[in-house]
Amino acid sequence: MEAEASSFETSEMLARFLGSTPMLTESWNLCARSNVMAPQGFLIHEVGGVTYVAFSGIQSLDGLDPSCGNLVPLSAATAVASTVYDGGDGEMFSALRNQGDENILLVDAGLLQLFLTIYRTPVFQNQMFEIKKKQKPVVFTGHSIGGAIAALSSLWLLSYYQSISSPPSVICFTYGSPLIGNEPLSRAIHRQRWGGNFCHVVSKFDLMPRLLFAPLAPITTHLHTVLKSWHLTMSSPFLIRDLGVQLADHEKSELFHFVLHYVDVAARSHALGSDSYVPFGNFAFCSSDGAVCIDDTIAVVRMLHLTFASGSPSSSVNDHLEYESYVEKMSLRFLNRDDDELCESNTYEAGVTLASQLISTDHMHRPIKDCLRVARRIGPSPNRNSAELAIRLSKIAPLRAQIEWYKASCDKSDDHHGYYDSFKLRSVSKRDFKVFINRIKLGDFWNEVIDMLEKNQLPHDFPKRAKWVYASQSYKLLVEPLDIAEYYRTCEHLKRGHYLKHGRERRYEIIDKWWRERDIHGENDNNKCGKNRSKFASVTQDSCFWAKVEEARSWVEGVKCASDHRGLTGLWANIEKFEQYSRGMEERKEVSMDVFAKNSSYMRLMEDLRDLKLQLPYFSPQIPGVLDRKVLP
């Protein structure tokens, strides 16, 4: 088999792309202009059909916001955001927050507040409305603190686009930006496959990208002095500057070594906690000699430490203002560099050696080389993993076939229970046990697929590949009814609550998302050309149909037992919604024939409802609107 491409070679390609694409220079040029022309604001410019939005690095004239350095829940954004300018987006960052992560997603309080201040302005809302209306690619960018606002803006728009099929590209370039959030936030971003949308350009000595590893209170005075000096230069780039005048050498040394200590602690930590700042996305470490790109979180933290440690107190301050030079040299370096070495020895070691030479000093060459070696992807490449999963998918096909055979036999059974109720009421038999085990094995397989995807071990477009979208959907439609049957068979609903809210496995929610976002060239399989099915489906097209039946049964029982008319009104309203839903499923023939089995839960529910409607005169005095059919259809 052909040897796997090393992760360095992929990073080298990304670095070359950054050096040659106009997006890098265009985004930096607009960043520099925003620093001069739009302090505490942003600029927008369109080039070649791409909209660039650059946030000024000068967002606070008095230094850092006092709340910077403190992490707060991302949900605070929804509480603070103005409903006037919500623009119909619903909850902000909902795609990140709706993942069921047991840890809280945290972001920097001060940076979040700066983003929300801009977000609430009519100017920003109007510009974003135009961007969303055009449906064209957008690049958010920013230097310094502006980079953090650009990152939050990108996360907001990516989250908004989750509800849109075939959304336009959203890319984020930051230059010398501080980190914005904790490890659960980083993990959530990578789960959404958004890591590749972010490129953080970091000069090897710059203080700002490392700053939030350290507590800010002890260095507040030094930081205010440095920020004022930076802001003066950023807003007046043509002035001759001498940054050393405002901070004495010993003060710069104190600041440098204080931050370096905490970066060192983070780099040595084996696990990054939920209460510490963690990077996400791609990091392009640059110097006057070139750049190398890394996307592994642990390796990024180590590189932030090693490159910073190779600098000096003065360079840690001065380097924050050198990005224009680095961007220019990156472009020239990658366009003009001799490729003979890489072409002659296209190996992982050659790549590591070349990269470490670009961004390290002599005494740090070995540690940085070791760090780049650690960043190498462990195990096969994503494409190879995908190919091996395809083989495994074919090998588990017999498990699915046995469940399909079980369904067919249940549909023909003389007890007329149907597929769902036969499994729910099953006896101890070899056939039923086999289906029970197959259900678990198939669930384990899809859990593993999703786990590999979230660990970036599968191709970026994996969830959009037709083979996997349709295979996962077919699995869900066939097997989830069995999971629902097991949930109610074991009375889990009495312990935890109904299945839809309290029992549904996360894999089904993710498969739902793949199905909603599938790219099938504008076709809609559920209703092609506006035509309904000519016959009933082989499997019910809503895998949660039986969970909704079970909830409806509990509402009917509630009506029989309830005495409070307000409670009865709510129960009747729920029953009415279910009847509308099930009637629509029947009319569109999106249910399978087992639903209509004589002794199925659905048919028994319909019988109970008919009996209940015969008692309407009893309920009418308690519930206004029953007799004139305002409550019950």
What's the 3-state SS for 534-553? Answer: CCCCCCCCCCCHHHHHHHHH
pTM of the predicted structure, to 2 decimals = 0.70
Long-range contacts, stretch 377-386, CB < 8 angstroms, 24+ apart: 377/6, 377/7, 377/296, 379/457, 380/4, 381/4, 381/5, 382/456, 382/457, 382/458, 382/459, 382/460, 382/462, 383/459, 384/4, 385/452, 385/457, 385/458, 386/458, 386/459, 386/462
Dihedral of CA 155/160/162/168: which sign? negative
Is residue 202's pLDDT more than 50? yes
Please, which pLDDT band fits residue 18 given cuts at 50, 70 and 90?
low
- The strand pairing partners of 72, in sequence order, are 107
d(CA 621, CA 610): 19
Residues 294-320: tens digit of each pLDDT: 888 888 998 899 889 989 999 999 999
d(CA 190, CA 174): 18
Closest by CA position to 123, among listed 174, 79, 85: 85
Beta strands in 261-382 (DSSP E): 282-287, 290-294
Tokens describing residue 623: 């519930």
74 and 106 Cβ atoms separated by less than 8 Å: yes
320 classed as catalytic: yes
Residues 569-612: tens digit of each pLDDT: 888 889 999 999 999 999 999 999 999 999 999 999 999 988 88
144 classed as catalytic: yes
Residues 529-557: tens digit of each pLDDT: 445 788 999 999 999 999 999 999 999 98
- The strand pairing partners of 291, in sequence order, are 286
Can you tell me the mean pLDDT for 178-204?
A: 90
Residues 117-146: tens digit of each pLDDT: 999 999 999 999 999 988 899 999 999 999
Can you tell me the mean pLDDT for 354-380?
A: 57
Closest by CA position to 208, among listed 100, 346, 282, 317: 317
Q: Which residues contact 276 (CB under 8 A, 6 or more apart)?
A: 182, 183, 213, 266, 269
Q: What is the pLDDT of residue 19?
A: 60
d(CA 313, CA 311): 7
113 and 74 Cβ atoms separated by less than 8 Å: no
Give the CA angle between residues 625, 626, 627 to the nearest 5°. Answer: 100
Neighbours of 416 (CB within 10 A): 17
Instruction: Indicate which residue of 144, 203, 276, 422 is catalytic.
Output: 144
Instruction: Indicate which residue of 200, 320, 493, 498 is catalytic.
Output: 320
Is residue 219's pLDDT more than 90? yes
Is residue 447's pLDDT more than 50? yes
Instruction: Indicate which residue of 65, 206, 296, 542 is catalytic.
Output: 206
Residues 78-97: tens digit of each pLDDT: 655 544 444 444 568 877 86
Mean residue pLDDT of the chain comes to 82
Alpha-helical (H) ranges within 375-505 are 382-395, 397-411, 418-424, 430-454, 466-489, 492-496, 499-502
Residue 541, amino acid: Q
206 classed as catalytic: yes
Q: Tell me the chain's radius of gyration from C-alpha atoms.
A: 29
Residues 23-50: tens digit of each pLDDT: 888 999 999 999 999 888 999 999 988 9
